[in-house]
Structure 1
Amino acid sequence: MVVPQYGIKFAVHIITNHFGDRVAKVCECLLRRGPLNRPNIKRYTELTDEQVKNSLLVLIQQNCVQAFIVEQLGGFGDEPRLNTQYVALFDNILHRVRFAKFLTIASQEFDKQCVELLQGLLEHGRLTLKQMFERAKSSEKEGTSVVLDSVRESLSKLATAHYVERCPAPEPLLMAATEEETPARKRGSKSSKLVEEPETIEQRAVAAAAPVETLRFSVISTDSGVHGENNDNNLTSITVGQKRKHNALESDESRTADELTVLYRANFEEFIRHLRHKACIETVRARLDDGAATVLGAMLEATRSSEQKVKTRYSVPLSLGSIYEEVIKREAGRNMTLDHAKASLNQLGYPPLVKESNGSYSIEFEKIIELAQNDEMESVVLKKYGRDAYRIFRLLSKANCLLETDKISDITFVEKKDTLKILHKMWKDEYLDMEKLFMSGARQSVFFLWKVNKTTLSRYVLDEMFHAALNLSLRLAHELDQEKELLNLPADRRTGHLLDRYNRLKKVRILLESSQMKLDDAIMLFHYF
């Protein structure tokens, strides 16, 4: 789908807050116009070549722009020309508001040093191992010391869990674009794709730049091996004597070069997968019970490593015994019997959130996310139009077909006049599709048929969410700017009415920030999961 207009405005607002107006101007140009080379960016933004260059360097450093080289066919008898272009990575820009969530996830699994290392990568975008060490060294407290090996070990832990990866190639080569290729601005919502869309040039550039899987999550270790998921495949035997010394010297040189040149960054994909799992578990908990949520959580954990490598709509099938073995590892599952776990799996089978085949069970991710999306859309309708509209919308959403006005009125017990008024208002706001049916006879009659078009509606709701997220962010910035002088005052001088104002600002800030976090959870449901 085309990136919603308020999605672009929100992304530009994020970049403006983080890097200033000039960098945001270059970013907005790429978001609205698609891939461009430097001369065209300069022409559209009316900035100098140096300003454009510096802005692009910032955006690339922060993983918000990917450079790539396109081979353009020359004229008759001319050689093909290579042209460097730049494309904005919309999703990566939005991830910047989720850094606190990513750090919370890491803090639940790793020690303080790992979390601090990840925080450095999120703040600086890309760092070498040497830069991570220097950063850790500069922040160490008196009486403590940071060893390079301990930083490398922390990096290896994060890479093994896929939370950190090697950076993509700076300028991968793409062959000449074909006519079938869609503009870079267009992308599909993962939850609403009915058919596979052609790859955009943005997707091709990202795929071409990605490191090969054997290197993506690897870190050179002190013993010349490679830490990460491919450790076993990269260890080689070393013969004795001169060959051992020669190999040791080569490995030292290679390791030093790696520390100075290989760049690492946070792997947003893995954090989003973790948040998707959390959303699935909470959806099941709300619809079924804690037992079903515990079993689903166990299945997600058991299939996590395979899901990291292959993206499918189903998880890897698991036997009942394998699922129960994972269930009892969890605190919430230690009081569950095998029969209880099987009963929870049966619950998850109606509606089919977990698919059973020949005694094996696999998770249907799309079904769970669709349920969560429906709940979110119904919640929006309830708040915006009231309880009668909520009942009407829910009926149409479940029916998944055209229904006539009178039938809707009869089923929902809403007066026909009110039903028509509600339906017309929701249709006008693009929440419903409407068709007219003309019946000829003694007197021509017109019947109105209504249905929910979930694909269209999800796009509209997503744009509304981006609009709300932008408004919340602007409101928070306004509140903080209004009380700038108060915030700069020392704490001991905030007394009397100044203290009241400060406490009021604190409450407003907590409210707005918590609303932003909840709204972002909803945005991820429609845009990433």
Structure 2
Amino acid sequence: SLAERSARAGPSKMAAVPLQAPSRNAERVPEAAHLACDVVIDAFGHDSGLVAKFLLRRGNRTLRELVRDTGLKPSRCQQVLLVLIQQNCVAPLRGETPDSDTLYHIHVDNILHRLRYPRFLLHTRECMGETHEALLEGLLEHGRLRARALFERAESSRGADEKETNAEKAFEELVEGRFVERVPVGFGDVHAGHSADEDEDLMDREDREDDRSDGSPPPSRLASAAKRRRRSSGGGRDVSARLEASG
């Protein structure tokens, strides 16, 4: 299910959220909601903006409700949610019971902080160094990255000085300076629920509606096969972290 995939992604990735303390009232201000929707459209496209609009307008929604509200195909709605979760704009929430469908919650403050990314990078470079800036840039650009990929990206950065602190040490300094907060393994499970039945019902329905003249399997089954291959092949080093909001 989508929730299971996002939960598995959590412990093996690094996640970026803003440096500046969020405003607790942002989601209640119509202007902030409209601006957040525009930011999502500009960054991720129309379909993502459509999902964001309904989450902002109607509050936490299940995948089934979002498919109904937006008119998007279930597979497309899943893709959009995965992107928004990857970029820390949306979070899956566990239901009250194990059988409850997963709800998806939009983080308005995290979205609005995207407007301050250049400021975050400049502050990090001036206060800590180019390697630290490269690490932060990787998190801000991709939302989440495996630790190895993040370190390799920082070390190969064009502006990074060879004499400067290596990427792993720079990352530790970001943690110590509370620019970054470590997320323990299993962090995704705290927020992700179990909506496998909901996801499978929607995907099966889409498969039946998908008339593919070439006889190839529907996209959802291809995705399921790819998921099984990833599960059997295992992953790289498991490290999770996120940027910490500070006052």
Shorter-chain TM-score above 0.5: yes
Displacement of 1:137 in angstroms is 4.4
Displacement of 1:38 in angstroms is 0.7
Structure 1 counterpart of 2:240: 263
1:104 alignment partner, one of 122, 128, 136: 122
1:20 partnered with 2:20 = no
Alpha carbons 2:155, 2:166 under 8 Å: kept: no
Structure-2 change in CA distance of 1:135 and 1:26 (3 Å): same
Encode CA deviations 1:262-308: one digit per residue, 9 max, x unaligned: 233322x12xx2xxxxxxxxxxxxxxxxxxxxxxxxxxxxxxxxxxx
Provide TM-score, normalisation by structure 2.
0.65
Structure 2 counterpart of 1:446: none
Calculate percent identity across the aligned residue pairs: 32
Structure-2 change in CA distance of 1:139 and 1:44 (3 Å): same
Structure 1 counterpart of 2:83: 58
Structure-2 change in CA distance of 1:56 and 1:173 (3 Å): closer
In our comparison, the structure showing a higher alpha carbon Rg is 1
Q: Distance in 2 between matches of 1:258 and 1:38?
A: 27
- After TM superposition, the runs of 4+ consecutive aligned structure 1 residues lying more than 6 A away are 144-147
Provide structure 1 residue ranges, at least 5 long, that are not aligned to the other structure.
73-79, 176-256, 274-529
Structure-2 change in CA distance of 1:173 and 1:160 (3 Å): closer
Structure-2 change in CA distance of 1:122 and 1:36 (3 Å): same
Q: RMSD of aligned C-alpha atoms?
A: 2.9
Structure 2 counterpart of 1:136: 154
Q: Distance in 1 between matches of 2:162 and 2:118?
A: 27
AA partner of residue 157 (structure 1): E
Q: Distance in 1 between matches of 2:77 and 2:192?
A: 23
Q: Distance in 1 between matches of 2:49 and 2:182?
A: 26
1:89 partnered with 2:121 = no
Displacement of 1:173 in angstroms is 5.8
Displacement of 1:28 in angstroms is 1.3
Encode CA deviations 1:352-377: one digit per residue, 9 max, x unaligned: xxxxxxxxxxxxxxxxxxxxxxxxxx
Provide structure 2 residue ranges, at least 5 long, that are not aligned to the other structure.
1-24, 194-233
Encode CA deviations 1:292-347: one digit per residue, 9 max, x unaligned: xxxxxxxxxxxxxxxxxxxxxxxxxxxxxxxxxxxxxxxxxxxxxxxxxxxxxxxx
Displacement of 1:30 in angstroms is 1.0
Alpha carbons 1:12, 1:28 under 8 Å: kept: yes
Alpha carbons 1:11, 1:93 under 8 Å: kept: yes
AA partner of residue 63 (structure 1): N
Q: Distance in 2 between matches of 1:22 and 1:153?
A: 39
Structure-2 change in CA distance of 1:173 and 1:57 (3 Å): closer
Q: Distance in 1 between matches of 2:114 and 2:155?
A: 26
Alpha carbons 1:137, 1:146 under 8 Å: kept: no
* 1:23-42 equivalence runs, <5 A: 23-42=48-67
Q: Which has the higher contact order (CA 8 A, sep 6+)?
A: 2
Q: Distance in 2 between matches of 1:36 and 1:71?
A: 14
Alpha carbons 1:67, 1:171 under 8 Å: kept: no
Structure-2 change in CA distance of 1:157 and 1:174 (3 Å): closer
Provide TM-score, normalisation by structure 1.
0.31
